[in-house]
């Protein structure tokens, strides 16, 4: 199958409008053409620096504008992070993702960040970091350290972006993604649905990612977890908009899989409130990665035991560590 970066919004909207069974069938067909059926990559996400972020993202409890009572912390000690990574590896994770609540990292923090990346890679795990916007020099340092992926979500459609965040622009986000790509690091970029957006916004969100010069190798799809004290949490917590319709969420996953066939589509935040049936439909529609453990940064998550039971019930198995990197190499060959 040809990997396209010239998708139009009407084409993506037409995918969303397909009968549900046809959409899932097409997504499953694309998925099986590019990925091992029945395999799910297990990932662990750790907040290595929590709270105090100067950005005003309306969904985030770590923003200084949020009134959640979350206490800001300093960057974790390198050895403490590596210990958490070792525990994640022992629990079966092959990918270790680390997030710091910064607008952008300070140069003084980079030596510790580099040491963390090198230490986690020595354990044989994939590494991913999300630290905010990066300078070219910082991107090069992360690449030299061997960082596998850099996460920088676009969050929503370009049209809705400034309704969710005002302290940076969509262009700022895309500039950082371009720096990550230039430095030779795999791109991880997705967004959040269920923030009161329209289907047209969901189409715009997928379109923005699917028309980048190269698709993100990793596309996390999050369902909003409304946190009281955040702008969106207070606005949506007690309304029907607080939880996106399950079928519509699966449609987003399927559209991401069809338009970005080589990417890892990650079923991310919000999964703890999804039924087993909804998660199973997401896997059928092409999601092939989940975050395990009891917490995602500051939000609750399903937990290792619950995830293991679900995968066993569905007959799914953890992905071998090298499988995602094979996909990236295949994408490079296709280009």
Confidence (pLDDT) at 319:
81
Query: 264, 253, 206, 265: which is closest to 8 by C-alpha?
Result: 206
Does the predicted TM-score (pTM) go above 0.75? Answer: yes
Helices (H), 260-303: 276-284
Which residue of the set 53, 168, 173, 202 is catalytic? 53
Which residue of the set 128, 160, 168, 202 is catalytic? 128
Q: Where are the domains of the chain?
A: 9-334
Q: What's the CA gap between 293 and 275, in Å, rounded?
A: 17
Which residue of the set 9, 32, 43, 60 is catalytic? 60
Confidence (pLDDT) at 327:
38
Confidence (pLDDT) at 293:
66
Q: What's the CA gap between 222 and 52, in Å, rounded?
A: 22
Which residue of the set 43, 95, 97, 251 is catalytic? 97
Residue 97 annotated in active site: yes
Confidence (pLDDT) at 334:
40
Confidence (pLDDT) at 117:
96
Which residue of the set 188, 202, 251, 271 is catalytic? 188
Contacts made by residues 68-77, CB under 8 angstroms, sequence distance 24+: 68/227, 68/228, 68/229, 68/230, 69/229, 70/298, 72/101, 73/49, 74/49, 75/48, 75/49, 75/100, 75/109, 75/112, 76/48, 76/49
**CATH number for the domain formed by residue range(s) 9-334:** 3.20.20.70
Which residue of the set 95, 266, 271, 282 is catalytic? 266
Residue 60 annotated in active site: yes
Q: What's the CA gap between 257 and 35, in Å, rounded?
A: 11
Residue 43 annotated in active site: no
- The dihedrals phi and psi of 151, each to the nearest 5 degrees, come to -95, 130
- The dihedrals phi and psi of 114, each to the nearest 5 degrees, come to -60, -45
Which residue of the set 43, 57, 173, 181 is catalytic? 57
Per-residue pLDDT of the chain (335 residues; tens, 9 = 90+): 678 999 999 999 999 999 999 999 999 999 999 999 899 999 999 999 998 899 999 898 889 888 888 888 899 999 999 999 998 888 888 899 999 999 999 999 999 999 999 999 999 899 999 999 999 999 999 999 999 999 999 999 999 999 999 999 999 999 999 999 999 999 999 999 999 899 999 999 999 999 999 999 999 999 998 888 888 888 776 665 556 899 999 999 999 999 999 999 999 888 888 899 999 999 999 999 998 865 444 454 555 688 888 999 999 998 875 444 433 433 344 44
Confidence (pLDDT) at 318:
87
């Amino acid at each position: 199958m040809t990997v396209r970066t010239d998708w139009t919004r009407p084409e993506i909207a037409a995918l969303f409008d397909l009968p549900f069974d046809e959409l899932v069938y097409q997504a499953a067909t694309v998925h099986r053409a590019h990925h091992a059926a029945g395999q799910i990559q297990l990932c662990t996400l750790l907040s290595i620096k929590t709270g105090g972020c100067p950005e005003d993202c309306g969904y985030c409890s770590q923003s200084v504008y949020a009134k959640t009572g979350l206490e800001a912390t300093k960057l974790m000690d390198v050895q403490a992070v590596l210990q958490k990574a070792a525990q994640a590896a022992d629990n079966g994770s092959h990918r270790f993702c680390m997030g710091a609540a910064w607008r952008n990292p300070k140069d003084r923090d980079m030596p510790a960040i580099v040491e963390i990346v090198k230490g986690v890679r020595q354990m044989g795990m994939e590494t991913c970091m999300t630290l905010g916007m990066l300078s070219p020099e910082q991107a090069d340092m992360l690449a030299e350290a061997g960082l596998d992926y850099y996460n920088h979500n676009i969050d929503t459609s370009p049209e809705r972006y400034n309704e969710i965040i005002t302290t940076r622009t969509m262009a700022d986000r895309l500039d950082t993604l371009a720096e990550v790509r230039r430095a030779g690091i795999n791109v991880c970029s997705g967004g959040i649905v269920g923030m009161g957006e329209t289907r047209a916004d969901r189409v715009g969100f997928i379109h923005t990612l699917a028309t980048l010069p190269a698709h993100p190798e990793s596309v996390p799809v999050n369902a909003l977890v409304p946190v009281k004290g955040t702008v969106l949490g207070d606005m949506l917590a007690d309304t029907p908009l607080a939880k996106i319709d399950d079928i519509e969420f699966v449609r987003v996953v399927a559209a991401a899989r069809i338009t970005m066939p080589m990417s890892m589509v990650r079923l991310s935040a919000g999964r703890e409130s999804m039924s087993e049936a909804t998660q199973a439909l997401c896997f059928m529609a092409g999601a092939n990665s989940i975050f395990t453990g009891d917490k995602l940064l500051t939000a609750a998550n399903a937990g290792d035991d619950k995830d293991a039971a679900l995968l066993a019930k569905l007959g799914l198995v953890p992905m071998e560590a090298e499988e995602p990197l094979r996909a990236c190499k295949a994408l490079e060959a296709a280009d």
